[in-house]
Amino acid sequence: MSTHSLTDAVEAAKQRYTEANPTSKALHEEATLSLPGGNTRTVLHAGPFPIYMKSGKNHQVISEDGKTYTDLLCEFTAALYGHSNPRLQEAITNVVQTIGMNVGANTRQETLFAREVCSRFALERVRFANSGTEANLHALAAARLFTGKHKVVSFSGGYHGGVLGFRGGAPAKNNVDKQDWVVARYNDLESAKAAIKTEGVAAVIVEGMQGAGGCFAGTIDFLRGVQEAAHDAGVLFILDEVMTSRLSSGGLAQMYGLKPDLKTFGKWLGGGLAIGAFGGRADIMAAFDPRLSTSVAHSGTFNNNTLVTHAGYTGLKELYTSSEAERFTQVGEALRAKLNEVSSGTRMCFTGLGTIMAVHITKCGTREILRASDVEEDQVMMELFWFEMIEQGFWLAKRGFVALILETPQEELDRFVGAVATFVGKYRSELSL
Ligand code: PMP
């Protein structure tokens, strides 16, 4: 198929998408009258218009146009427990009916939840917030207070929140503290070491696997090297585990044998409700100990809300236990291996760790990708892939991000492998190296 006919194939797929989803189209048009571009969360925008979901059940989402999808997006890792887990429903209903919301006071439950989070993720102390972005902002504040320094080393392709993005290799235009970042190259230890040695650096913040940046895993040598270089320079090492904490019973730090000074969390940890958490060394977290005259405030109206402290606790204690986390990661590893098998010998590959992965269709066809900036994606093929997967009833991010929901039937994962194999067969010559 020539480039011309490939563009035709995308146009035809768009046409079928538009015809199949008239209600979503109308809802999008209506939304543009009150939300810029009809959107309040940029990542969900998709052309010609996004599909609107009416509901979710277990591992599925059901669109306003009446189509049922297998949810392979998993709310960007946050919907680990699916959309209607009975134990979470029970825990949340119990809060609504018998405990009450917004009690405006300390509760036993926040201690129970904090104790569980500390023990699972090897933290001496933890504090809660309402999003991963917030958790990272507070962790950076803690590092600055502790060291008395202000600069922070981050990595190209990294993402730590709505005002903490580095995808283009520099702080995004709407980043906080734009002048204070030293951006190094991901998976490049020499670059990291040089950045860490910069005068006035308080902390280095890194994802063990860059999630939003394309599911590129840090090598063990790189991550351990960053930890060591930071330690030697008196710079705090912050591991962003917002996504990766679900990859083992103790998160990626445990998998890779890392001992960060601080770790940050969010997404699935709240049992499906809004959450952020940050914690680690007690001496650093003491910055927020209100009994000390030197302390600073860490505030947030909903930090200890009864809904999230119950749902998150139920999830950790009963559903995503340590053994379940280890088992589930193997499910993801097996799926990614199969996806790479059916796409082998082509320009398509799947990167990631455990149940978090991303499809790439690169121009050069390499399968060993260390960082996003090393490859150029074939945007036309990526778009075609997305439209065709949507048509086959798989809900995934337009940029190719995939994360798994617990208890997604193995048959659905196999069906996805089949759909990918069919796509590869149909466009084999366009995908060839
Ligand atoms: N850190 C990482 C690694 C993330 O993937 C995200 C969200 N994609 C965040 C931080 C920000 O979390 P939130 O969207 O809850 O603010």
Find out whether 266 and 132 touch, Cβ atoms under 8 Å: yes
Q: How far is CA 188 from each of CA 218, 220, 222, 400, rounded to the nearest angstrom?
A: 9, 12, 7, 25
Answer yes or no: is the C-beta of 160 below 6 A from any ligand 1 atom.
Answer: yes
Residue 1, pLDDT above cutoff 70: no
User: Per-residue pLDDT averaged across 161-183, rounded?
Assistant: 92
What token pair was written down for 73? 């997006």
User: Per-residue pLDDT averaged across 154-171, rounded?
Assistant: 94
Query: What integer pLDDT is reported at residue 92 of this predicted model?
Result: 98
User: What is d(CA 355, CA 352) in angstroms, rounded to the nearest whole number?
Assistant: 8
Residue 4, pLDDT above cutoff 80: no
User: What is d(CA 426, CA 361) in angstroms, rounded to the nearest whole number?
Assistant: 15
Q: What is the pLDDT of residues 224-245, one digit of tens each?
A: 999 999 999 999 999 999 999 9
Concatenating the DSSP letter of every residue in 311-329 gives: HHHHIIIIIS-HHHHHHHH
Residue 179, pLDDT above cutoff 90: no
What token pair was written down for 57? 């059940």
What is the tally of helices (H) and strands (E) in the chain? 13, 16
Q: Which of 128, 134, 160 to mutate to test the pocket of ligand 1 (most atoms within 8 A of CB)?
A: 160
Find out whether 284 and 124 touch, Cβ atoms under 8 Å: no
Dihedral, 367, 369, 375, 376 alpha carbons, nearest 10: 60
Query: What integer pLDDT is reported at residue 45 of this predicted model?
Result: 96
Distance 345 CA to ligand 1 centre (A): 33
Give me the residues paired with residue 236 across strands. Answer: 203
Answer yes or no: is the C-beta of 76 below 6 A from any ligand 1 atom.
Answer: yes
Residue 422, pLDDT above cutoff 80: yes
Distance 125 CA to ligand 1 centre (A): 21
Q: What is the mean pLDDT of the chain?
A: 97
Residue 3, pLDDT above cutoff 80: no
* pTM (2 d.p.): 0.98
- Local confidence band at 425 (pLDDT 50, 70, 90 cut-offs): very high
Answer yes or no: is the C-beta of 209 below 6 A from any ligand 1 atom.
Answer: no
Peptide bond preceding 48 in cis form (omega within 30 of 0):
yes
Answer yes or no: is the C-beta of 131 below 6 A from any ligand 1 atom.
Answer: yes
Q: What is the pLDDT of residues 120-142, one digit of tens each?
A: 999 999 999 999 999 999 999 99
Query: What integer pLDDT is reported at residue 167 of this predicted model?
Result: 87
Closest atom of ligand 1 to 211 CA is 5
Residue 354, pLDDT above cutoff 70: yes
Query: What integer pLDDT is reported at residue 168 of this predicted model?
Result: 82
Query: What integer pLDDT is reported at residue 169 of this predicted model?
Result: 85
Nearest to 159 by CA among 246, 74, 244, 235: 244
Closest atom of ligand 1 to 76 CA is 8
User: Per-residue pLDDT averaged across 285-304, rounded?
Assistant: 96
Distance 111 CA to ligand 1 centre (A): 24
Q: What is the pLDDT of residues 87-114, one digit of tens each?
A: 999 999 999 999 999 999 999 999 999 9
Q: What is the pLDDT of residues 387-401, one digit of tens each?
A: 999 999 999 999 999
Residue nearest to ligand 1 atom 1, measured at CA: 160
Give me the residues paired with residue 57 across strands. Answer: 60
Q: Which of 242, 308, 401 to mutate to test the pocket of ligand 1 (most atoms within 8 A of CB)?
A: 242
% pLDDT > 90, the chain: 97
Distance 130 CA to ligand 1 centre (A): 11
Residue 30, pLDDT above cutoff 90: yes
